[in-house]
Amino acid sequence: MNRSLLIFLLFFLFLPKMSVGAQDINEVKVSLQIPVGFEGGTAEVSPNSTVSGEIMVELLSRHEISGRIVVTVTNGTLLSPPSYRFTLKVRRDLRAFPIKISVGRSPCLVVVRCESFGSIVEKREVLIPKGSWDIDLDLRIPTDTLGRTDPRTEPNTVIVRSSLTPTFVRMITGEGRSSAHPDLLTMACVKVEGQGVYTLIVLIEDEKGETLPISTSSLEAKEAKSDHGVITLENVIGGEKNIFPIFTPISPERLAGSYRMKVLVYPAGSSKPVLVKTFPLRIISTKGSVLILSMFAGGVALPVFLIVTSYYLRRRSMGDVLLCSLMGCLIFSIVFVPGQLVWGIASVLGPFDWLITGLVYDVFLYMLYVVAVSLRPRFGTLTMVMFSKWIMYSFFFGRLSIISVFWLATSSLFFEPLLYLAGVTSRGVITRPRILVSFVPAAVVDKYVDLILYAALYRLYYAGWYVAMYSLGNALYTIPGLLAGIWLSTYVRGVAHE
């Protein structure tokens, strides 16, 4: 940058405004905004770019005034008309005129001269090309309406909403017919790390380089149809979060695949970006997995659960049924009632809340499971205990839902066969190796399927590390509970007859 040239331009910038008489102050107000919205004397712009701005003339007096605006540019190229004529008829009458300038790598002086009835008002601004911009960009997708992300979910992965959700899936999740915009893809949050005001261009490209039509306006609004193409975010202030929706006229289910989300950062009013950043984006449809998991839970696990329950009620004595019911009520009182309080406290840990909730929902729960199986080592005992616990939990806390029935059925399906094959319920052999071999693998699979079923039905996509940590971590918590249950069962069996 030529230092002497810059000093020369700044000298002319701060020269007193030329005026004849006092009429210029009282009758006409002139403002020069390059870029639009910026009026500060100097502005940093991209080198070798085109800068757009606006000239505004406002009438302050009560009588009609006509005049002319003349624009001169030093060390730059004026791309808009060099002069404009205007007529202002009433007080507060306002006229705006566009101005466009091509700048190089040296400071550019812009002078706007307003002449009306012998008075002259001048406005000056220096455009300083800045070769290096110390900025960065942070993009988060998907987010909620406050720009927050769920740390458990996979970043840059969007689960699309099914355009036609089957009735039975809405019954499972408890959701009514969606009143949201069907063309809403997701919410996103972008933040420019640095000082200044910027304009952002956001676009999504597929693997072939073709641009996906997107917009921040719903296609349901007729006037928004022509807006789909790219997303333009104006007046983005550095250091502040900007949250925006992404709509697409294409059916979201047809968009499943891998994409690139490109963000171009422009200084406000400049035509040349100073930062271009690309982020990977995956769009996933869970419609197929929802159908498969729902069919498995409702068509396989639930019938097996009903068969096991009816078999136990027919073949076992009333005393066995009552014992299972009492154990279910005991689990509800010792595990789930205090567990609700623990769950609220553990929520501060975010994705690691299971470190606290596991102490209650896994250690104590599986300790009592082992005690119940030890008292009645028969096929179906654990299912009846789970059923009794589910009845108490669902009606006491008002959590009765089809998805909770599916969780109950899948748990029974995983635990009962392993307990039978290990000889615990088939031969009544209660030993540490048999209890661990039957309960721990079933707990891992049960935790995994419960989490995946929940995620699929509610359109979530948990990160792989979280799924593994949640399934294995909670299953490991069952080990001390199982060992404690074996130790406790020896004393309980001794007094069970009483």
pLDDT in tens, 187-218: 899 999 988 888 899 988 888 888 888 877 76
The mean pLDDT value of the chain amounts to 81
- Decide if pLDDT at 25 tops 50: no
What does the alpha-carbon distance between residue 433 and residue 178 come to, in Å, rounded to a whole number? 50
Bridge-based pairing state of the strands 157-160 and 231-237: unpaired
Q: Which of 253-262, 304-313, 455-464 has the highest mean pLDDT?
A: 304-313
- Decide if pLDDT at 169 tops 60: no
- pLDDT of 3: 58
Same domain, 157 and 222: yes
Query: Average pLDDT for residues 213-233, to the nearest whole number?
Result: 63
- pLDDT of 497: 52
Same domain, 292 and 437: yes
Same domain, 280 and 305: no
Instruction: Compare 18 and 45 and report the one with higher pLDDT.
Output: 45
- Decide if pLDDT at 322 tops 50: yes
Same domain, 269 and 306: no
- Asked if 384 and 324 touch (Cβ cutoff 8 Å), the reply is yes
CA-based nearest residue to 362, from 381, 378, 379, 346: 346
Backbone angles phi, psi at 255, to 5 degrees: -95, 0
State which of 107, 129, 151 marks the end of a domain: 129
Query: Average pLDDT for residues 400-420, to the nearest whole number?
Result: 88
Same domain, 439 and 393: yes
- pLDDT of 414: 92
| DSSP state string for 129-140 | E-S----EEEEE
What does the alpha-carbon distance between residue 371 and residue 11 come to, in Å, rounded to a whole number? 90
Same domain, 215 and 331: no
Same domain, 185 and 319: no
Can you tell me whether residue 397 is helix, strand or coil? helix
- Decide if pLDDT at 113 tops 60: yes
Same domain, 305 and 257: no
Distances (CA, A) of 303 to 183, 446, 467, 498: 38, 17, 27, 36
User: Minimum mean pLDDT among 44-48, 134-138, 179-183: which range?
Assistant: 179-183
User: Minimum mean pLDDT among 225-229, 446-450, 484-488: which range?
Assistant: 225-229
- pLDDT of 211: 84
What does the alpha-carbon distance between residue 75 and residue 23 come to, in Å, rounded to a whole number? 32
Same domain, 299 and 364: yes
Distances (CA, A) of 24 to 55, 61, 87: 16, 10, 15
Q: Which domain holds residue 88?
A: 3-129
**pTM for this one?**
0.68
- Decide if pLDDT at 245 tops 60: yes
CA-based nearest residue to 160, from 250, 228, 73: 250
Query: Average pLDDT for residues 314-334, to the nearest whole number?
Result: 90
Same domain, 471 and 386: yes
For tokens 């099914």, the residue is 162
Total Cβ atoms within 10 A of residue 85: 10
H or E element at residue 109: strand 108-116
- pLDDT of 117: 74
Same domain, 203 and 246: yes
- pLDDT of 15: 47
Please give the share of the chain, as a percent, with pLDDT higher than 70.
Answer: 85
In total, how many domains does the chain have? 3
- pLDDT of 373: 92
255's tokens = 């968009």
- pLDDT of 256: 80
State which of 102, 129, 156 marks the end of a domain: 129
What does the alpha-carbon distance between residue 156 and residue 152 come to, in Å, rounded to a whole number? 12
- Asked if 335 and 481 touch (Cβ cutoff 8 Å), the reply is no
178's tokens = 């969606």
What does the alpha-carbon distance between residue 315 and residue 324 come to, in Å, rounded to a whole number? 14
- Decide if pLDDT at 67 tops 50: yes
Task: Name the band, by pLDDT with cuts 50, 70 and 90, for residue 23.
Answer: very low
Q: In the sheet where 108-116 sits, what is the strand order?
A: 42-45, 119-129, 108-116, 65-74, 83-88
Query: Average pLDDT for residues 449-471, to the nearest whole number?
Result: 81
H or E element at residue 471: helix 464-495
What does the alpha-carbon distance between residue 401 and residue 290 come to, in Å, rounded to a whole number? 17
- pLDDT of 227: 47
- pLDDT of 119: 79
Query: Average pLDDT for residues 333-339, to the nearest whole number?
Result: 84
Bridge-based pairing state of the strands 119-129 and 42-45: parallel
Instruction: Compare 116 and 311 and report the one with higher pLDDT.
Output: 311
* CA quadruple 149, 154, 155, 160: dihedral sign: negative
Distances (CA, A) of 129 to 35, 42, 384, 410: 13, 11, 76, 65
**CATH number of residue 153's parent domain:** 2.60.40.2550
What does the alpha-carbon distance between residue 149 and residue 399 come to, in Å, rounded to a whole number? 26
How many degrees, rounded to 5, is the angle at CA 260 between CA 453 and CA 204?
95
Same domain, 67 and 124: yes
- pLDDT of 402: 79
State which of 129, 157, 183 marks the end of a domain: 129
Task: Name the band, by pLDDT with cuts 50, 70 and 90, for residue 176.
Answer: very low
What does the alpha-carbon distance between residue 442 and residue 434 come to, in Å, rounded to a whole number? 13
